[in-house]
Amino acid sequence: MKCIAGFSIVLLLCVSVAGTVHAEEGQASKNPIVFWELASNDQEKSVEFFRNVFDWDIEFSDRLEFYIVSADHAPSEMAGGIFTLSRAKLPFLALYIQVDDIDAMAKKVEESGGHIVEPPVEISPGNRICLFNEPSGVTFAMIQARKAE
């Protein structure tokens, strides 16, 4: 796979968010999203950011000519939601990364060259989200689920 002139280099991330939102436990949805990729202006800088902040195992594939995140991080599927814009100015796709301590991770995002778009906020009792840009400006989100009692 070669990069086409004028396109940014692709950082391929085969990860998904485990255990954040499930309509019904144990019931698989039809045609789940199991893969995503990030086209970055600087793949090395983006790779280093995700390694530093989320401790992901990311290796360069000589055969594919881009970076791959270890499949060990990927569950069988991830949940999602579709809604009409209310606060955002443009349509977007947000990928949520589950974390244990969202405040500590938000700090780590900034220390690693990212930018906090929306600081950690509670969206339902005990569940918090935080939107951030990785160094090339692509928006991602983190989610901290309510602790089991």
Interatomic CA distance for residues 113 and 46, integer angstroms: 9
Interatomic CA distance for residues 129 and 114, integer angstroms: 16
Query: Under CATH, to which class is 9-144 assigned?
Result: alpha beta
Dihedral pair phi/psi, residue 45, rounded to 5°: -65, -40
Instruction: Give domain limits for the chain.
Output: 9-144
Position 84: which residue type?
A: T
pTM of the model: 0.72
74 burial (CB, 10 Å; 0-12 / 13-18 / 19+) is: middle
Dihedral pair phi/psi, residue 16, rounded to 5°: -150, 170
In the prediction, which pLDDT does 16 show?
A: 36
In the prediction, which pLDDT does 39 show?
A: 83
Token pair, residue 28, equals: 């698989």
Position 75: which residue type?
A: P
Q: What is the pLDDT along the chain (149 residues), one digit of tens a residue?
A: 333 333 333 444 433 333 434 444 556 667 666 667 788 888 899 999 999 999 998 999 888 788 988 766 555 556 677 777 777 778 878 888 999 999 999 999 999 999 999 999 998 898 999 999 999 999 999 999 888 76
